[in-house]
Amino acid sequence: MFKSSLFFTAGVLYLFLACESNKASENEFIISGEAKGVFNGMRVYLKTSENGQKGSTTDTAIVANEAFEFKGNIKGAEMRILTIDGIVGQTALVLEPERIEVTIYKDSIYKSEVRGGNNNTIFNSYKNGYQALVEKVNSLRQAYILAQGNTDDVREIQERNTDLRLELKNFGLNFLKQNPDSDFSLMLLDGITGQKGFDAKIALEVFELMPQALLNKSTNTIIAQKITAKINTELNTFEVKVGVKAPDFTAPNPEGEMITLSKILGKVTILDFWASWCRPCRIENPNFVKIYDQYHSKGLEIISVSLDRNNQKQRWVEAIEKDQLNWYNVSNLKFWQDPLAKLYNVSSIPATFILDEEGIVLATKLRGAVLETKIAELLEN
């Protein structure tokens, strides 16, 4: 009945386990670390976290007199993994413009303490609550072994185990119902909705509890879009079709400036999904240029969303220049995993959506002469 390892809530705990401010500027963070028993000269690494896995190293510090320090700048809040040479395992923290104190436990680094900033306070509350449930399940495992031969006790333990495992499964979303208003909460919801079999109805309930100010932060908009897309896909209840309001989004242009759909809408706007590698898209681009040149002065805007890959930014930029796409261009450079493609249920390109000045969808899937005729109809009257 009992397995040697527990299935953590949607895998989320694994994603993350593994005082007076001296900040010099608004965006500065300072991490002060205590590392008793760690030898001088050992390197400490801060790494990005993607789905709970260690990513690229963003900073390195050196242990001296059982201490280390990181200083830097960060605009918002991001999860980071901390590792140390010679120590097996990792610990996690929420990096934000705060003074953060870390106490490293050499023999069990994942239990290390992190203090500083509201997000780490919420993160600690989440970890402590989850760990308490894990310990209850572990105690049942021992009780189950001792109860062998006593049918009534075994049945009672099995029932209790079933209840606790359900509580573990739902812990993340239930925690978020009580704590919906932090950056960490949004990260946690992103992690939960990234797992198979998550409860989309409860996830939507939690998402709707999150304050708009949190979702509208420039550092959170893409995460919010990913969550929306994943919930919509799981519920299978949302379709971008004629008559509905197009989902708003924010995404970076080639210079890294964040462009928001609702802020650039013209009298009529063409939302075009394409990619530099998509031959039919490139063939269609001259038609877009022709339409834009003719109708931009009458209120037409175009925003093109590229589904190029992460290593294809230069190819994307060169395609924009070569095809003379002199309008809004954005991309997260995530190929078919782009959150905007998922948000709009785009499974093939080119894909177009024609929007009015309020963002209501007027037409979809138009190309060539049919597209030109529709734009003329909307703007010539």
Q: How many domains does the chain have?
A: 3
Do residues 192 and 290 share a domain? no
Please, what is the end-to-end C-alpha distance for the chain in angstroms? 72
Q: Does residue 136 belong to any structural domain of this protein? A: yes
Q: Does residue 15 belong to any structural domain of this protein? A: no
* pLDDT (0 to 100) of residue 6: 39
Say which CATH number the domain at 50 has: 2.60.40
**The last residue of a domain, from among 71, 93, 115:** 115
Structure tokens at 189: 């919801």
Q: Does residue 365 belong to any structural domain of this protein? A: yes
Q: What is the mean pLDDT of residues 103-125?
A: 94
Q: Is the pTM of this model over 0.75?
A: no
Q: Is the pLDDT of residue 218 over 90?
A: no
Structure tokens at 244: 């509905």
155-190 pLDDT tens trace: 787 777 787 888 888 899 999 999 999 999 999 999
Do residues 175 and 262 share a domain? no
Q: What is the mean pLDDT of residues 321-348?
A: 92
Q: Does residue 3 belong to any structural domain of this protein? A: no
Alpha-carbon separation of residue 368 from 151, 273, 290, 374 (angstroms): 74, 15, 10, 10
pLDDT cut 90: percent of the chain above it: 64
Collapsing DSSP states into helix, strand and coil, what is residue 120? helix
Split at pLDDT 50, 70, 90, the class of 219 is confident
What is the DSSP secondary structure assignment for residue 38, as one 8-state letter?
A: P
Exposure of 96 by Cβ count < 10 A (0-12 exposed, 13-18 middle, 19+ buried)? Answer: buried
Do residues 134 and 215 share a domain? yes
Q: Is the pLDDT of residue 129 over 50?
A: yes
Do residues 103 and 130 share a domain? no
Structure tokens at 29: 């963070």
**The last residue of a domain, from among 177, 200, 232:** 232
**Dihedral angle sign, alpha carbons of residues 231, 235, 240, 245:** negative
Q: Does residue 164 belong to any structural domain of this protein? A: yes
Structure tokens at 94: 């929420």
* pLDDT (0 to 100) of residue 182: 96
Do residues 323 and 282 share a domain? yes
The answer to whether 90 and 48 are in contact (CB under 8 A) is no
**The last residue of a domain, from among 52, 87, 115:** 115
10-67 pLDDT tens trace: 444 444 444 444 444 688 999 999 999 999 999 999 999 876 566 789 999 999 999 9
Do residues 43 and 111 share a domain? yes
Do residues 259 and 372 share a domain? yes
Exposure of 19 by Cβ count < 10 A (0-12 exposed, 13-18 middle, 19+ buried)? Answer: exposed
- Which range marks the domain in which residue 177 is found? 123-232
Do residues 223 and 283 share a domain? no
Do residues 161 and 219 share a domain? yes
CA distance 252 to 331: 6
Do residues 289 and 358 share a domain? yes
Do residues 26 and 111 share a domain? yes
Q: What is the mean pLDDT of residues 282-286?
A: 95
Q: Does residue 8 belong to any structural domain of this protein? A: no
Q: Does residue 39 belong to any structural domain of this protein? A: yes
Say which CATH number the domain at 370 has: 3.40.30.10
Q: Does residue 66 belong to any structural domain of this protein? A: yes
Do residues 130 and 111 share a domain? no
